[in-house]
Structure 1
Amino acid sequence: MNQITISVEGMSCGHCKAAVEGVLGKLEGVSSAEVNLAAKNVTVQFDSSKVSEDKLKNEIEEAGYDVV
C-alpha cells in the first residue's frame, strides 16, 4: 500500500472535502482519502498496481479543483 499527499487549491468547505474524498474513494485501489482543509491537501492510501498517482490527480482536477 502506498501513500501520497497531494496539494489541492480551491477547497474551502465541508462540501469540497466531501467531493474530493468522494471521487477518490470511488477509484479501484484507493483504500482511504482524507482531506485537510487547513493544510490544503489530501492524503491518499492506495494500491499502485491498481491506480496511478496521475489518475488520482486527474480525478481531483476533473472534480474542479487545482492540483499544485
Structure 2
Amino acid sequence: MQTTYRVEGMTCGHCVAAVEEEVGALDGVTAAKADLETGQLVVDSGDEPDRNAVAAAVDEAGYTLAS
C-alpha cells in the first residue's frame, strides 16, 4: 500500500534523507521516499500507517506533516 503525505520545511537533500530515515524506521513501513521539489512523502507499507506515528517521525526529523 502507498500513502502520500506532504511535508513542510524541507529545503535540501539532507532534509529529505532525514525524513526518509525517520519514517522508514516505523513498524510496517517498507520504504519512504520524499521529494524536495513537491514536498511529497510516499510511504510504502503493508497496511496504512498510523498518521500520528508518521507525523511524530517527521517531527523527529525536524519538519512538519501538513494537515
Q: TM-score, normalised by structure 2?
A: 0.85
C-alpha distance in structure 1 between counterparts of 2:33 and 2:40, whole Å:
8
Name the counterpart of 1:55: 53
> 3-state SS of the aligned residue for 1:32?
strand
Structure 2 residue 50 is the aligned partner of structure 1 residue 28: no
Question: What does 1:1-68 align with in structure 2 at a 5 Å threshold?
Answer: 2-48=1-47, 51-68=49-66
Q: Which runs of 5+ in 2 are unaligned?
A: none
Q: How far did 1:48 drift?
A: 2.5
TM superposition outliers: structure 1 runs of 4+ over 2 Å = none
Is residue 20–residue 34 contact of structure 2 (8 Å, CA) maintained in 1?
yes
Q: How far did 1:43 drift?
A: 0.4
Q: How far did 1:61 drift?
A: 1.6
Aligned length: 66
Q: How far did 1:31 drift?
A: 0.6
> 3-state SS of the aligned residue for 2:10?
coil
Q: Which runs of 5+ in 1 are unaligned?
A: none
State the Cα RMSD in Å.
Answer: 1.5
